[in-house]
Amino acid sequence: AQSVTQLGSHVSVSEGALVLLRCNYSSSVPPYLFWYVQYPNQGLQLLLKYTSAATLVKGINGFEAEFKKSETSFHLTKPSAHMSDAAEYFCAVRRGGSQGNLIFGKGTKLSVKP
Amino acid sequence: EAGVTQFPSHSVIEKGQTVTLRCDPISGHDNLYWYRRVMGKEIKFLLHFVKESKQDESGMPNNRFLAERTGGTYSTLKVQPAELEDSGVYFCASSQVQGINYGYTFGSGTRLTVV
């Protein structure tokens, strides 16, 4: 069975600082992994996805994530935080085959201080 | 391309009443998923349609929830009768598998409050 664990329900960084949101996964098969973002009063927006093509995945808004099989991790990073990055971020793993549903982590709320 | 549309965006109903949520997926997407996030908890899968057929409904909490997707286009999720613990945000997503170039597109969600 697949699962994801997001470490830290709240992360606070200063504007311009590195953003690091942690996600560890558990999967008995090669995982398909996703990061989604939810801005206040909006839906879920795909940031990036890992589909085994490349271990370093670049997404929108300057975010990227690196798949590390040895560490079962898929951490999300951004070199320099912007006030507009304040949102809730969700890591997810696809369950089962190509049409499987997503299994989400509990989410991490990112605050950006001026 | 139009995205996934959900309505209403908000619904406040009394315990015991019935509410119907609607999701319009991206045109041509065979797969449609319903998820729910109860306050403070993670987003949880409810069920999955492939066209008009229920592929997986293992996440449906109980028989007060009924989902339909007539004609394989839009879907409805009915809660009857609603209970306080049904409050939360209900998300719909759609996808079309095309090799590795697939993705799950989510709607903005329906915030349901049962009072």
| A89 touches A11 (CB < 8 A) | no
CA of B43 vs chain A CAs: smallest distance (Å): 6
Both structure tokens of A88: 């809730």
Q: What pLDDT is recorded for position B98?
A: 55
Q: Do the chains contact at A107 and B43, CB–CB below 8 Å?
A: yes
Tens-digit pLDDT profile for chain B (115 aa)?
Answer: 679 999 999 999 999 999 999 999 999 899 999 999 998 899 999 999 999 999 999 999 999 999 999 888 999 999 999 999 999 999 999 998 655 556 789 999 999 999 9
Average pLDDT rounded to a whole number, residues A12-25: 97
Q: What pLDDT is recorded for position B102?
A: 66
Q: What pLDDT is recorded for position B7?
A: 95
Choose the mutation target among B24, B37, B43, B60 for the interface with A, i.e. most A CBs under 10 Å: B43
Q: What pLDDT is recorded for position B107?
A: 95
Q: What pLDDT is recorded for position B101?
A: 54
pLDDT band at A24 (very low <50, low <70, confident <90, very high): very high
Burial A69-106 (b: 16+ CB within 10 A, else e): eeeebbbbebeebeeebbbbbbbbbbbeeebbbbbbbb
Q: What pLDDT is recorded for position A41?
A: 82
Choose the mutation target among B6, B89, B105, B106 for the interface with A, i.e. most A CBs under 10 Å: B106
With contacts defined as CB-CB under 8 Å, which chain A residues touch B56? Answer: 101
Given a cut of 70, whether residue A49 has pLDDT beyond it is: yes
Question: Residue A97: CB partners within 8 Å, gap ≥ 6?
Answer: none
Residue B99 to residue A32: CA distance in whole angstroms: 13
Residue A107 to residue A54: CA distance in whole angstroms: 24
Both structure tokens of A81: 């935080």
Average pLDDT rounded to a whole number, residues A65-92: 96
